[in-house]
Structure 1
């Protein structure tokens, strides 16, 4: 009965799109082991080739169907001039990508204008949040075979990261962990080693605006958690949220520029949160006397990233 209901009103097809076909091929199944998922670097090459096919198909559609979305002559000329084209022989020979082509100029500009419209209507963002993927997440490791490595399973990493992003969005938008949200925007980027990370901008409602330093401290900490009251958080912060080693401990670290850390670590001890002169808040970072052993060196609060959760880095936007 359920299958019949799903099929009602749908046109039957005997073909599938390229995207649908490769989505099927990349799906993990308990009773149908697909060897291609476990071929390591070969699988990565296979995934890249799949995407190139999809992108080429989209580009071909845009090239062969210019009349469906081409601008008028005047608008087209103005568009060419905005691109900096001054050679008259090239005018009229441009191929315009539709805004449905992800990553194209029109797509990027449309997203940019959407974000600007949100800021104009709701005001500046209040929180800047970065969420990074961890290849040691239980959801990833429990689905790896004995011969697999997370770096060779971009499909698995992307699915796990997407699921956690959706859970984070639920926390922010429905569970209101920061209060009522008026608007939000985010983008997902990939690191050079293949792991994704996401940047969120959160605009809180007028009633929930962070107007005092006490409100900052309620959300963000730049101090080591108490190892007795929060042992798990303390352990994870030491593992994931400590910067360095840099400065005098490691003067050749990648963050060092002209003898100084470009991220301004180690930070100074501060007894109270304040709004910084350079528009960045200076978070409370008290000298508790606690010393921790990280990567063979003794560290203090000075090297701790500001954090709200074990997997999130957070900054107040002022």
Structure 2
């Protein structure tokens, strides 16, 4: 419902805006068509709209600029949620619910475990800390 409200707000506030490449608009103007109000899409989803094309492109460009500045990463760590975690089973043991019926519990537990993993990686120095060009091993 929140997503629908955000989409409606964006649509309502952008009645006069159009989305088209500058080159296409210039070509239409050069052909003598002075009315470009029917060219392109009427609604533009901003990069702040989570999940939109501009949002994805902005995140991609941000990641690429980080790679350009710091270099490509040496590690790619994937962390996923497991509905069979003992904490989930313990929470749901006295109910007829399944783990997928309580995504709020799974999300909370995932965040707790992710924060613990990040804390372990930072404080227990499981990885080597890299600063600019020099490498310092804290173990």
Same fold (TM over 0.5): yes
**For residue 57 of structure 1, what is the aligned residue in structure 2?**
5
> 1:60–1:118: structure 2 CA closer, same or farther, 3 Å change rule?
same
- Which residue does the alignment assign to 2:47? 99
- 1:112 is aligned to 2:60: yes
Indicate which of 98, 105, 108 corresponds to 1:156: 105
Correspondent of 1:78 among 12, 21, 33: 21
Q: Give the TM-score normalised by the residue count of structure 1.
A: 0.34
Q: Which has the higher helix share?
A: 2
For each residue in 1:234-276, what CA deviation from the matched residue of structure 2 results, as whole angstroms up to 9, or x when unmatched? xxxxxxxxxxxxxxxxxxxxxxxxxxxxxxxxxxxxxxxxxxx
The change in CA–CA distance for 1:89 and 1:164 in structure 2 (over 3 A counts) is same
Q: Which runs of 5+ in 2 are unaligned?
A: 25-35
Quote the residue 1:171 is aligned against: 120
Structure 1 runs (4+) deviating above 6 angstroms are none
Determine helix, strand or coil for the equivalent of 2:126. Answer: coil
Alignment partner of 1:137 is 2:65: no
- Cα deviation code 1:123-160 (max 9, x no counterpart): 11100122222222122122113322212222211211
Residue correspondences, number: 124
For 2:61 and 2:5, locate their aligned partners in 1 and report how far apart those are by CA, in whole Å.
27
Give the equivalent residue in structure 2 for 1:248.
Answer: none
When normalised by structure 2's length, the TM-score is 0.73
Contact 2:128 2:136 in 1 (8 A): yes
More strand, by proportion? 1
Partners of 1:163 and 1:79 lie apart in 2 by 46
Structure 1: runs of 5+ lacking an equivalent: 1-52, 82-87, 183-203, 210-318
